[in-house]
Amino acid sequence: MSLVSGPGRGGMAGMPVEMQLFVDKHVSYIQSLDTRKDELEYWLTEHLRLNGLYWGLTALHLLGHAHALPRTGILDFVLSCLHESGGFGAAPGHDAHMLYTVSGVQILATLDAFGELEERVPGGRQKIGKFIAGLQDPETGTFAGDEWGEQDTRFLYGALNALSLMGLLELVDVEKAVQHVHSCANFDGGYGTSPGAESHSGQVFTCVGALTIAGRLDLVNQEKLGAWLSERQLKNGGLNGRPEKKEDVCYSWWVMSSMAMLGKLHWIDGDRLTRFILQCQDPELGGLADRPGDMVDVFHTVFGIAGLSLLKYPGLEEVDPV
């Protein structure tokens, strides 16, 4: 899936007074992404190809057009990114890394294709599980992205997410991972990439998500974190990622899904946020941007639509906040 931004811009053309979601436009926007191989940005974003495919596919599912991309084609591509080690690279020929492995597993789960995985790669599920488990740091419980050791709560969440989708959580030390997440809690109630690192909505999502999968939300200071998350809403309705930063559609997902897991979604103003997200659409060519007037891309498209789904926007499939 291409990560190329544009061609359209969010909210440029005159929006109708009655704000609506342009479902068909977004579907054809996502379908069009892989036809843009003549653009330089297409190959500059190759290192995100598998993530992009997951984002596009998820957006289509939420829009109720799950079959708008060819299932066999996707499956062939995903499996062509799988290494002997059990890890996925971003595209064929790219090294295996946690982030793409998670996307690979998520796509397989979305397509309900674990059976086909076993047919084509015997023992594939176990292999992938082992690859992920091998990236856990036995001392701290956190996870690295690859054999080179960059560690981040993003990878920890990804590991637990992918393993739970495959029913293989028993391959890792969940309790140790949980304790590591707990040690990343900050004085303001939020979470960062590692102990002491600044609270950031995206990292809050990964930490709350990991604890939800592990069934340990009891460790979260829920009221304090809920308050911090609700403070992310700005007067224009949009959400930011950290105090005193600008709003961005992708935080509709990171912030709201975290609040949903904590059962505190009603602490923000949903109507205003809905309006903000809808303003970021390109009503003609489809897609959503980070904020009105900027270029659309598939990343902001899926997180905007997932945000609207959490806000119970009519006609969208329900998304699981984890």
Partner 1 sequence: MAFNFIRAWLRTIFLSPYRLLRALLPKYTTPSRYFEETQVASKSSRMPKFYHDDEAWADMAPLPQDDGGLHPLAAIAYSDEYSEAMGYLRAAMAQNEFSERVLGLTEHIISMNPAHYTVWLYRAKIIAEIGRPLQDEIAWLNPTALKHLKNYQIWHHRHTMIDALGSPDGEPEFISAMVELDSKNYHVWSYRQWLVKRFDLFDKPEELAWTHGMIEEDVRNNSAWNHRYYLVVGGREGKPSADIANREIEYTKAAIRKAPQNQSPWNYILGILRAAELPKSTLKDFATEFADVQNPDHVHSSHALDLLADIYAEEESSKEKAAKALELLATKYDPIRANYWNFRKGLLDQPKVAA
279 near partner 1, judged by CB under 8 A: no
Residue closer to partner 1 by CB (options 67, 235) is 235
Q: 71-80 and 49-62 helices cross at what angle (nearest 10)? A: 150
Per-residue string for binding with partner 1, 63-102, x by CB under 8 A? -------x--xx-xx--x--------x-xxxxx-x-----
Q: What are phi and psi of 264, to 5 degrees?
A: -125, 20
Residue closer to partner 1 by CB (options 107, 160) is 107
- By rule CB under 8 A, what count of residues binds partner 1? 60
116 near partner 1, judged by CB under 8 A: no
Nearest-approach distance from CB 174 to partner 1, in angstroms: 25
221 near partner 1, judged by CB under 8 A: no
Q: Among residues 17, 112, 138, 266, which is the contact residue for partner 1, using CB under 8 A?
A: 266
Q: Among residues 116, 137, 173, 269, which is the contact residue for partner 1, using CB under 8 A?
A: 269
- Write out the chain in H/E/C secondary structure: CCCCCCCCECCCCCCCCCCCCCHHHHHHHHHHHHHCCCCHHHHHCHHHHHHHHHHHHHHHHHCCCHHHCCHHHHHHHHHHCECCCCCECCCCCCCCCHHHHHHHHHHHHHCCCHHHHHHHCCCHHHHHHHHHHCCECCCCCCEECCCCCCECHHHHHHHHHHHHHHCCHHHCCHHHHHHHHHHCECCCCCECCCCCCCCCHHHHHHHHHHHHHCCCHHHCCHHHHHHHHHCCECCCCCEECCCCCCECCHHHHHHHHHHHHCCCHHHCCHHHHHHHHHHCECCCCCCEECCCCCEEEHHHHHHHHHHHHHCCCCCCCCCCCC
Nearest-approach distance from CB 208 to partner 1, in angstroms: 17
Residue closer to partner 1 by CB (options 73, 122) is 73
Residue closer to partner 1 by CB (options 51, 168) is 51
40 near partner 1, judged by CB under 8 A: yes
Nearest-approach distance from CB 168 to partner 1, in angstroms: 25
Residue closer to partner 1 by CB (options 94, 216) is 94
Q: Among residues 5, 142, 233, 301, which is the contact residue for partner 1, using CB under 8 A?
A: 233
Nearest-approach distance from CB 185 to partner 1, in angstroms: 11
164 near partner 1, judged by CB under 8 A: no
317 near partner 1, judged by CB under 8 A: no
313 near partner 1, judged by CB under 8 A: no
**138 prior amide bond cis, ω within 30:** no
Residue closer to partner 1 by CB (options 168, 180) is 180
137 near partner 1, judged by CB under 8 A: no
Whether 275 and 247 have beta carbons less than 8 Å apart is answered as: no
Q: Using CA atoms, how far apart are residues 201 and 192, in angstroms rounded to an integer?
A: 8
139 near partner 1, judged by CB under 8 A: no
Whether 307 and 277 have beta carbons less than 8 Å apart is answered as: yes
**Rule CB under 8 A: which residues touch partner 1?**
1, 34, 37-38, 40-49, 53, 70, 73-74, 76-77, 80, 89, 91-95, 97, 146, 148, 150, 186-188, 192-200, 226-227, 230-231, 233, 235, 237, 242-245, 264, 266-269, 272
